[in-house]
């Protein structure tokens, strides 16, 4: 099958023929279990994305994405363009830029060149419908 992937950062990609993958999972069942867990997590991510598209408005989705992209919880997202955000959300760059300007006006973010500072992460979490467990 034809497969397309695009990495957001430098990555290493390995391919393995299906027959070898089957053989490896038979020989090492823990490998199959790990793959099943990975597929399950990815399926949940896709399902959550579909629910977001169906039920959340764009400002909610963008707020949630900004919180998600702050992986180190520093409050600063570096190296991400408005176009990259738009691509992740399936919308236009201009729409993302307008929402970010509105977030800035509300005091939720500060904007720089390929840099977004999350000023009020708690409110962004609320807007994005995210809750901490």
CATH code where residue 84 lies: 1.10.10.10
| Segments forming the whole domain that contains residue 92 | 58-127
Identify whether 36 is part of a domain.
yes
Q: Write out pLDDT tens, residues 62-113.
A: 999 999 999 999 999 999 999 999 999 999 999 999 999 999 999 999 999 9
The pLDDT assigned to 73 comes to: 92
User: Pick from 100, 23, 20, 30: which is nearest to 61 by CA?
Assistant: 100
Identify whether 102 is part of a domain.
yes
Cα angle 41, 23, 46; round to 5: 15
3-state secondary structure of 40: helix
Q: Is pTM beyond 0.85 here?
A: no
Identify whether 101 is part of a domain.
yes
Identify whether 132 is part of a domain.
no
Identify whether 1 is part of a domain.
no
Handedness of CA 71, 131, 93, 116 (dihedral sign): negative
The pLDDT assigned to 133 comes to: 62
The pLDDT assigned to 128 comes to: 94
């Amino acid at each position: 099958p034809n497969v397309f992937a695009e990495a957001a950062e430098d990555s290493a990609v390995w391919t393995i023929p299906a027959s070898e993958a089957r053989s490896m999972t038979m020989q090492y069942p823990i490998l199959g279990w790990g793959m099943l867990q990975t597929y399950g997590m990815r399926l949940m991510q896709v399902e959550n994305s579909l629910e977001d598209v169906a039920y959340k408005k764009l400002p909610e989705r963008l707020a949630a994405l900004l919180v998600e992209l702050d992986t180190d919880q520093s409050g600063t997202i570096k190296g991400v363009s408005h176009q990259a955000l738009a691509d992740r959300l399936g919308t236009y760059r201009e729409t993302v830029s307008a929402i970010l300007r509105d977030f800035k006006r509300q005091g939720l973010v500060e904007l720089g060149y390929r840099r977004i500072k999350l000023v009020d992460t708690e409110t962004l979490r609320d807007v994005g419908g995210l809750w901490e467990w």
